[in-house]
Amino acid sequence: MRSPASVSDRSGLVAMTVDRILKPQSIAIVGASADPRSFGGFVLANLERFGYAGAIHLVSRGSSEINGRDCVKTVGELPEGIDLAVLAIPESGVLEAVRGLAARHTHAAVLFASGYAEAGEEGRARQDELAAVARDAGMLLLGPNCMGFTNFEAGVPVTFEPVQPYPCDGRPGIGVVAQSGAMAANLRDAVIGRGLPLTATVSTGNEASVGIEDVLAHYIADPQTRVIAVYAEQVRRPQLFLQLARQARAVGKPIVMLMPGKSARAREAAQSHTGALAGDHATASVALAREAVVLVDSLDELFDAAAILLRFPVPPGGGPAFMTGSGAMKNIALDFCDGLGLELPALTEATTQRLTGMLPGYAVAENPLDYTTIGVRQPGLIGEILLAMLADEHIGSLVLSIPAGPEVAQRDKAEHILPAIAQAAKPAVLVITGDNGPIEPFFVDAIRASGVPFFRSPDRALRALARVAAYGEALQRAVRASQGAAHALPLPAPLPPSGVFAEYQGKAWLAAAGIAVPEGALAGSADEAVRIAARIGYPVVIKAQASALPHKSDVGGVIVGLADEAALRAGWQELHANVSSHRPDLQLDGVLVEAMGARGLELVVGAKRDADWGPVVLVGLGGVWIEALKDVRLIPADMAEADIVEELGRLKAASLLKGIRGAAAVDVPAVARVVALVGEQMRANPQITEIDINPLVAYPDRVLALDALVVCNPAA
């Protein structure tokens, strides 16, 4: 019996084990049938159509031979050590077949049958039993509830859907992995429809054994795969996935990923479809984006971004240029980019002067650029203009949006414009407008031969380039974060033993971390409170303190604006009466007496530790506005301060940071520093599960944490 270590999380070993599935030297079809429309019939027809050269073994209860190939009646009659078995049988016979295959030392099996974890608790129990049998035998399972795979590169189609050979011709291509069989097929068809090279498509289904992480490891190691397209309803091994994403980033292989689950209904659908227990989508998105995974919102974006990144896997920073011969299209592009939050960078003075010499006097040399009608008489000039714009240091990519035009115009585009785009060193795409309007076959052939990313919609092209631009920025951010991570984390301040810190404990801990808090101290009596107030100065605020009272205002445990000793003593009595009324059994640690903070811009800075994805940090508009407006940004815990400043600029209320209606601008770098410090403490203290500073008041020259909640899990 082989060791189950073959299915461990060690990515190099995982890649080798999945390689055994995707490139088998021998295949058994359990449930082979002479019926050409049966699952087993489709698998056999696919293998024969692809000219699979390995050994094929057939198991069929009803046939002694199929297509001239001998059949055996049971799994027990198969040779030992077959690389891959395909179970094209109903769920009722799968467990017995898997046990039989395990006894024959079969290396792996593909399970098409459904009725497992996606069908509820009884199905999950059946799936767990299958997985245990395979694990004990050291056998890998792809599925259940999957459509198998097609390795186009190696010529191995193991799926019940009829597929045709599609050679890569040695070109680096796209590798597809999806938990949904239908999505794997959709992605496959989209890649083939564009004439792009495709190495393999894999459907992992319920992932009883082999998951997307294992296939991802295979693609990272595969020299023919340049871009990896992923559809995942749940990442079951988040830390391994992140580790693999770092490896993919290191070797220059973009991962483009569609992960539904933002809405509650989508999460419920994911659970019923794949048996996935959906996690926190927003937290997962932050962790994945930190590793430069290209997260998209639609299938169109998944197709389109993968197509562009296949040609330009390491895009530069900088926004896009937009070129057209239509003033109307220029205006549409301006509005559309504004809606996307996609900046169209201004051209440098040198580029502007160069373009002015090429354009007619009535054209304006700017981005977006309407080059007017010069293409009619000088089609080659459009290519020169395009290359001039791409040479601009501010420009990271380019969209050329033009109509097809009559046949003569299409020949001009094929002969003069396509070659210019094809030699671009930055992402450059061609849009032929007109929806499904006809394009001459010679022009279609020329576009495909050029390898230029091609669209019929400028909207889709710009959305895709927005993802590509974000990927370029993410690569640079990851480098900066790694440089920052190279520095030693601060020594963590001592942690109180309780799960929830009382505010005075949390503020003392934050102050030790370098975050400013109001001057004050804990009082055990009214007289002590008066002495503290005399030292720090009036007016003061008093707050009831106990770890069991994180939300003090709810019980009247906060009294503000106490201007003198008489007011403080009256407030002391009022506070204790309020707390006793609501929580008569609560024992207070004391009362925190603090100097009242001056009015400023109220922000929130928080962090939480996700059990699967690790820590993330939140920053945004705080105080009473956080619930009403939810204007926040979620960011990785190791983001560099300069990048945090950029994130603050993406808040809807970013203008408040700069000062409006006579208000002074606040100290944004100081805010960023607090955000970075919170992230540092989350990384340095695995016991901390949550930090909430609300409000963090920002002033023109400083910031001050007026309230703080810190939650600790001492056992972590």
pLDDT digits (tens, 9 = 90+) for 503-525: 999 999 999 889 999 999 999 99
Is-contact 171 226, C-beta < 8 A? no
Is a pLDDT exceeding 70 seen at residue 6?
no
pLDDT digits (tens, 9 = 90+) for 228-246: 999 999 999 999 999 999 9
495 is written with which tokens?
A: 């942690």
397 is written with which tokens?
A: 């990519």
> Is the CA virtual torsion 473, 478, 479, 484 positive or negative?
positive
Q: What is the pLDDT of residue 270?
A: 46
Is a pLDDT exceeding 90 seen at residue 673?
yes
Amino acid identity at 103: A
H/E segment holding residue 333: helix 327-340
Q: What is the mean pLDDT of residues 149-171?
A: 94
Residues in Cβ contact with 417 at an 8 Å cutoff, skipping those fewer than 6 apart:
379, 382, 383, 386, 400, 402, 430
DSSP 148-177: -EEETTTTEEESSS-------TT--EEEEE
pLDDT band at 716 (very low <50, low <70, confident <90, very high): low
> Is the CA virtual torsion 26, 30, 33, 36 positive or negative?
negative
Residues in Cβ contact with 632 at an 8 Å cutoff, skipping those fewer than 6 apart:
604, 618, 619, 620, 621, 626, 651
Residues in Cβ contact with 713 at an 8 Å cutoff, skipping those fewer than 6 apart:
499, 687, 688, 689
Q: What is the mean pLDDT of the chain?
A: 90
Is-contact 615 609, C-beta < 8 A? yes
Which one is predicted more confidently, 498 or 254? 254
Is-contact 606 637, C-beta < 8 A? no
Q: How far apart are CA 707 and CA 623, in angstroms?
A: 10
Is a pLDDT exceeding 90 seen at residue 161?
yes
pLDDT band at 627 (very low <50, low <70, confident <90, very high): low
Is-contact 102 136, C-beta < 8 A? yes
157 upstream amide cis, omega within 30 of 0 = no
pLDDT band at 379 (very low <50, low <70, confident <90, very high): confident
539 upstream amide cis, omega within 30 of 0 = yes
CA distances in angstroms from 56 to 39, 53, 113, listed in the order given: 16, 9, 21
Closest to 139 measured CA to CA, from 255, 17, 234, 51 = 17
Which one is predicted more confidently, 192 or 481? 192
Phi-psi region of 623 (alpha: psi -120 to 50; beta: other; left: phi over 0): left
Is a pLDDT exceeding 80 seen at residue 486?
no
Is-contact 365 355, C-beta < 8 A? yes
Number of helical (H) and strand (E) elements in the chain, helices listed first: 25, 29
Q: How far apart are CA 36 and CA 562, in angstroms?
A: 86
Q: What is the pLDDT of residue 338?
A: 87
Strand segments, DSSP code E, in 546-600 are: 558-562, 590-595
CA distances in angstroms from 154 to 195, 210, 451, listed in the order given: 18, 20, 23
Q: How far apart are CA 459 and CA 322, in angstroms?
A: 12
Is a pLDDT exceeding 60 seen at residue 249?
yes
Q: What is the pLDDT of residue 271?
A: 44
Q: How far apart are CA 657 and CA 448, in angstroms?
A: 49
Q: What is the pLDDT of residue 255?
A: 98
Residues in Cβ contact with 569 at an 8 Å cutoff, skipping those fewer than 6 apart:
526, 530
DSSP 585-605: TPPP-EEEEEEPPPP-EEEEE
Instruction: Compute how many other C-beta atoms are within 10 angstroms of the C-beta atom of residue 523.
Output: 21
Q: What is the mean pLDDT of residues 604-620?
A: 92
Is a pLDDT exceeding 60 seen at residue 268?
no
Instruction: Compute how many other C-beta atoms are within 10 angstroms of the C-beta atom of residue 577.
Output: 11
pLDDT digits (tens, 9 = 90+) for 47-104: 999 999 999 999 999 999 999 999 999 999 999 999 999 999 999 999 999 999 999 9
What are the structural domains, with CATH classification, of the chain? 15-147 (3.40.50.720), 314-481 (3.40.50.261), 519-595 (3.30.1490.20), 601-712 (3.30.470.20)
Which one is predicted more confidently, 526 or 170? 526
Full-model pTM: 0.90
Is-contact 46 15, C-beta < 8 A? no
Phi and psi angles of residue 312, each rounded to the nearest 5 degrees, phi first: -130, 75
Instruction: Compute how many other C-beta atoms are within 10 angstroms of the C-beta atom of residue 709.
Output: 17
Q: What is the pLDDT of residue 317?
A: 80
Is-contact 638 678, C-beta < 8 A? no
533: three-class secondary structure by DSSP: helix
Q: How far apart are CA 444 and CA 442, in angstroms?
A: 5
Is-contact 144 206, C-beta < 8 A? yes
Instruction: Compute how many other C-beta atoms are within 10 angstroms of the C-beta atom of residue 455.
Output: 23
Is-contact 232 274, C-beta < 8 A? no
Q: What is the mean pLDDT of residues 590-618?
A: 93
Is-contact 137 85, C-beta < 8 A? no
The single-letter DSSP state of residue 270 is H
Is a pLDDT exceeding 90 seen at residue 162?
yes
CA distances in angstroms from 137 to 6, 143, 205, 375, listed in the order given: 10, 17, 21, 67
Residues in Cβ contact with 58 at an 8 Å cutoff, skipping those fewer than 6 apart:
28, 29, 32, 44, 66, 69, 70, 71, 72
Q: What is the mean pLDDT of residues 355-365?
A: 93
Direct distance between the N- and C-terminal alpha carbons of the chain, in angstroms, rounded to an integer:
37
Q: How far apart are CA 376 and CA 359, in angstroms?
A: 13
Q: How far apart are CA 347 and CA 394, in angstroms?
A: 7
Over its C-alpha atoms, the chain yields an Rg (Å, rounded) of 31
Closest to 604 measured CA to CA, from 583, 579, 629, 641 = 629
Is a pLDDT exceeding 60 seen at residue 276?
no
Is a pLDDT exceeding 70 seen at residue 44?
yes
Is-contact 508 514, C-beta < 8 A? no
Q: How far apart are CA 95 and CA 72, in angstroms?
A: 19
Instruction: Compute how many other C-beta atoms are within 10 angstroms of the C-beta atom of residue 528.
Output: 15
Closest to 28 measured CA to CA, from 76, 83, 104, 98 = 83
Using the CB atoms, write b or e for 585-597: b if 16+ within 10 Å. eeebbbbbbbbbb
